Chains A and B, each alone.
Chain A
């Protein structure tokens, strides 16, 4: 119970008046920036780096972790209410979340997101405390070949969002793959699909595309079909979770957390893949009587699972950072550079040399989680009032926020043109019934899969059997095949 005693010591440090203040400030700031599309925790922490000159290391890291966890909470709010995902990890949340809000269930959607985030964040933080070092050693055994197979597995999840026609769904996916190719190729340094525009050499931002597809596209489509004098009044409905909602949310939370944490720990995991897998799992596992809600009125399982997954993954990301000094996400990399400005060298010895700091940090994560759920649950009632804003002002406001997020990070008109251009395409996609979610999935998974495949092939010196001869990789491929054809075979067997 060494970890336990250390953790108690951490709580003793973290519960000081000043440290609690940093935690509150971090949670508040994190929630605020999480709400806004484009501006994520990595950028915020980078902007806050100057405080490392004035504040003690402990205070600064508590603040940073509050921002990090807070952003994961805040990201879901606009996904659900305005169909404008704030972070790439909440893109999947908006699929069912925004539909729930449309059919008067915004309150339960927000509540299940907040409570799910709390459960998953706590489970993830427990994971950091007790499992982290063990898991990370296993995670290191996975190489590019395994990552490629993992991404192939994730591609199966596309089938859950293809919509009415496979032909049109796959077209959307191909469009996403195309967008993902834009920019300089990592393995060769060659520019691809850039049309000679310097601003897109680093690629197209996936949050920008999601906001363009979901928010701008929706607004344009509504204007196109707008009937003068017609007022769309969005029902607000009840705020809290009913008993049935609790029952329907509980297992998705647990499964989401279980999927998310290991993915976060993986050096090339991230928060997006587990949200896709969780969505896929919930869609397949949902009780038959609620299955029709997916993609129509919005199913609460489709919000609870992915939200839990992204928070657990966020916690997981901290494991390789704290145990090995490995920055596996942009946010972790910035936090590591903050360590350096204190003259602390992050690395495998951090847990030993800076035990006090690390345990205080972990204790603060627990505290931040409690704070966030306390901060967010009462806010649910307030947030849903946004839906009472009359249509003209609501959509005008959505476009203003989309602009802030896009223009704020790059100050580039090119990005705004891209945002609006993708919005126009999305308007036509909506008219011709092309689903938009596969675009985002293709855009996230495509580049990751391509790079992993090519890395694996360079390592194996061009031997394609590398994907089959490595046990872990072969297993993952087998699961992917099973996930693709399994349900169909199961259907045949049952018949």
Chain B
């Protein structure tokens, strides 16, 4: 658990704030918000929370932020703690995402995302399917043909088993009548070792988030075959959908409220996120970080969540992580 009251950052921020002058408080929607990040500092969820703080304060939407990080087991260590500590609190936010949907199912966690209040999906990062530059696969159709013929012969690397990369592979295999359990999936801890295995052509193909591999693709050291978003993420690289493979998946990140808040309190938090999303400060951050906008709020988000859960469950069943 960490509170970010870095003296260093604060002392540096102070002159800047004085110089800019605090924006008018008329727009302030919340005097303070506490953000619960179920992962350690420095990761994707933490990054989303920090970016929300940065934009909200610059836009004068929220007075102060308090952060709490409780990491572990794909968020399933932090989730029950948030649920028990913040029940009914109208100023508590919880950051979560696609990874947690899988972790809750695979870890058979008693407390799940059903126990928190969905507010809005903020960003998403589509996946990318790459092969080494020297690979015989020129396009996604070639790779899919190889998967159809013998998935075991195409060693494919990605993140941990049952994670989003593995689920993407499972959904792709399903479209050619194969199952995730026939695949030669090589799990690596973290993007570095996986990239190294691809660059050295130790494996035939790899799946990960677009940002993980995009620079290697631009430098010509890896060949991108497809991305997994709704629309194209990289110039000249088709999506799976337009290549006739009906898979759309992304590593989405979103915000949840505490359990047991009333509809008015929920509406206030959704309003805040809607205002934040529309602010130029937020759009700026999205551009610098290269994040894809995936704003979806309230019931639409809840519906999406249910579908995501069904898809994930199906693949996790196949790979034996859910019985």
A residues neighboring B (CB under 8 Å): 42-43, 45-51, 53-55, 139-144, 184-191, 198-199, 201-202, 267-268, 320, 324-329, 332-334, 337, 340-341, 343, 345-349, 410-411, 451, 455, 458-459, 461
What are 20 inter-chain pairs, A to B, with CB distance below 8 A?
A42-B42, A46-B41, A48-B9, A49-B42, A50-B9, A54-B9, A54-B13, A142-B200, A185-B161, A186-B160, A189-B106, A189-B160, A189-B321, A191-B107, A267-B196, A320-B192, A327-B190, A340-B289, A345-B214, A347-B218
- The CA of A340 and the CA of B47, in the complex, are separated in Å by 11
User: Do the beta carbons of B215 and A348 come within 8 Å of each other?
Assistant: yes
- The CA of A325 and the CA of B192, in the complex, are separated in Å by 8
Contacts known (A341-B288, A411-B1, A461-B184); A188 close to B161, Cβ less than 8 A: yes
- Residue of A187, A328, A411 touching B161 (CB-CB under 8 A): A187
Q: Which of B72-80, B122-130, B227-235 forms contacts with chain A?
A: B72-80
Inter-chain contacts of B41 with A (CB < 8 A): 43, 46-47, 49
A326 nearest in chain B by CB position: B192
Inter-chain contacts of B320 with A (CB < 8 A): 188, 190
- The CA of A129 and the CA of B214, in the complex, are separated in Å by 26
Beta-carbon contacts under 8 Å, B3-47 to A: 4, 6, 8-9, 12-13, 16, 40-42, 46-47
B296 within 8 A of A: no
B221 within 8 A of A: yes
| Distance of B188 from chain A, by nearest CB (Å) | 7
Inter-chain contacts of A461 with B (CB < 8 A): 152-153, 155, 184
Centre residue among B162, B186, B189, B321 by max chain A CB count within 10 A: B186
- Residue of B9, B47, B319 touching A337 (CB-CB under 8 A): B47
9 nearest A-B residue pairs (beta carbon)? A347-B215, A46-B42, A189-B162, A267-B196, A143-B202, A411-B1, A201-B73, A46-B41, A140-B200
Inter-chain contacts of B196 with A (CB < 8 A): 139-140, 267-268, 320, 326, 328
B187 within 8 A of A: yes
Contacts known (A46-B40, A346-B215); A324 close to B107, Cβ less than 8 A: no
User: Do the beta carbons of A50 and B186 come within 8 Å of each other?
Assistant: no
Contacts known (A140-B199, A326-B195); A43 close to B215, Cβ less than 8 A: no
A141 nearest in chain B by CB position: B200
Contacts known (A49-B42, A326-B192); A459 close to B186, Cβ less than 8 A: yes
Beta-carbon contacts under 8 Å, B68-102 to A: 70-73, 76-77, 80
B156 nearest in chain A by CB position: A458
User: Do the beta carbons of A198 and B76 come within 8 Å of each other?
Assistant: yes
Further pairs besides A144-B197, A267-B195, A268-B193: 14, Cβ < 8 Å: A42-B42, A55-B12, A142-B200, A185-B161, A189-B163, A198-B76, A320-B192, A327-B191, A328-B196, A340-B289, A340-B290, A345-B214, A347-B219, A458-B155
Contacts known (A185-B161, A325-B215, A340-B289); A458 close to B184, Cβ less than 8 A: yes
Inter-chain contacts of A325 with B (CB < 8 A): 215-216
Inter-chain contacts of A142 with B (CB < 8 A): 200
User: Do the beta carbons of B192 and A328 come within 8 Å of each other?
Assistant: yes
- The CA of A460 and the CA of B79, in the complex, are separated in Å by 39
B109 within 8 A of A: yes
B268 within 8 A of A: no
Inter-chain contacts of A184 with B (CB < 8 A): 73, 107, 160
Contacts known (A142-B200, A199-B77, A343-B288); A334 close to B42, Cβ less than 8 A: yes
| Distance of B253 from chain A, by nearest CB (Å) | 14
B174 within 8 A of A: no
- The CA of A343 and the CA of B211, in the complex, are separated in Å by 12
User: Do the beta carbons of A47 and B6 come within 8 Å of each other?
Assistant: yes
| Distance of B35 from chain A, by nearest CB (Å) | 14
User: Do the beta carbons of B109 and A198 come within 8 Å of each other?
Assistant: yes
| Distance of B59 from chain A, by nearest CB (Å) | 15
Contacts known (A186-B189, A189-B321, A343-B288); A198 close to B160, Cβ less than 8 A: no
B195 nearest in chain A by CB position: A326
Inter-chain contacts of B160 with A (CB < 8 A): 184, 186, 189
User: Do the beta carbons of B9 and A328 come within 8 Å of each other?
Assistant: no
Centre residue among B47, B166, B187 by max chain A CB count within 10 A: B187
A268 nearest in chain B by CB position: B193
B54 within 8 A of A: yes
User: Do the beta carbons of B219 and A348 come within 8 Å of each other?
Assistant: yes
User: Do the beta carbons of A324 and B199 come within 8 Å of each other?
Assistant: yes
B224 within 8 A of A: no
User: Do the beta carbons of B321 and A202 come within 8 Å of each other?
Assistant: no
- The CA of A325 and the CA of B199, in the complex, are separated in Å by 12
A44 nearest in chain B by CB position: B41
| Distance of B204 from chain A, by nearest CB (Å) | 9
User: Do the beta carbons of B8 and A186 come within 8 Å of each other?
Assistant: no
User: Do the beta carbons of A54 and B218 come within 8 Å of each other?
Assistant: no
B241 within 8 A of A: no
B317 within 8 A of A: no
Contacts known (A333-B190, A411-B70); A347 close to B216, Cβ less than 8 A: yes
| Distance of B207 from chain A, by nearest CB (Å) | 15
Inter-chain contacts of A326 with B (CB < 8 A): 192, 195-196, 199
Beta-carbon contacts under 8 Å, B101-130 to A: 106-107, 109
| Distance of A70 from chain B, by nearest CB (Å) | 15
B203 within 8 A of A: yes
- The CA of A332 and the CA of B196, in the complex, are separated in Å by 14
- The CA of A332 and the CA of B46, in the complex, are separated in Å by 17
- The CA of A191 and the CA of B109, in the complex, are separated in Å by 12
B185 within 8 A of A: yes
User: Do the beta carbons of B6 and A189 come within 8 Å of each other?
Assistant: no
| Distance of A351 from chain B, by nearest CB (Å) | 11
Inter-chain contacts of B152 with A (CB < 8 A): 461
B300 within 8 A of A: no
User: Do the beta carbons of A341 and B1 come within 8 Å of each other?
Assistant: no
| Distance of A358 from chain B, by nearest CB (Å) | 15
Inter-chain contacts of B107 with A (CB < 8 A): 184, 191, 198, 201
- The CA of A267 and the CA of B47, in the complex, are separated in Å by 25
- Residue of B187, B216, B218 touching A187 (CB-CB under 8 A): B187
| Distance of A89 from chain B, by nearest CB (Å) | 18
B202 nearest in chain A by CB position: A143
B148 within 8 A of A: no
B2 within 8 A of A: yes
User: Do the beta carbons of A349 and B190 come within 8 Å of each other?
Assistant: no
Contacts known (A46-B40, A50-B6); A458 close to B200, Cβ less than 8 A: no
- The CA of A337 and the CA of B190, in the complex, are separated in Å by 13
A347 nearest in chain B by CB position: B215
User: Do the beta carbons of A348 and B73 come within 8 Å of each other?
Assistant: no
- Mask, B276-290, CB within 8 Å of A = 1, is 000000000000111
Beta-carbon contacts under 8 Å, B261-308 to A: 288-290
B50 within 8 A of A: yes
| Distance of A466 from chain B, by nearest CB (Å) | 11
- The CA of A201 and the CA of B108, in the complex, are separated in Å by 12
- The CA of A47 and the CA of B161, in the complex, are separated in Å by 29
User: Do the beta carbons of B16 and A54 come within 8 Å of each other?
Assistant: yes
| Distance of B226 from chain A, by nearest CB (Å) | 20
- The CA of A201 and the CA of B6, in the complex, are separated in Å by 30
Inter-chain contacts of A267 with B (CB < 8 A): 192-193, 195-196
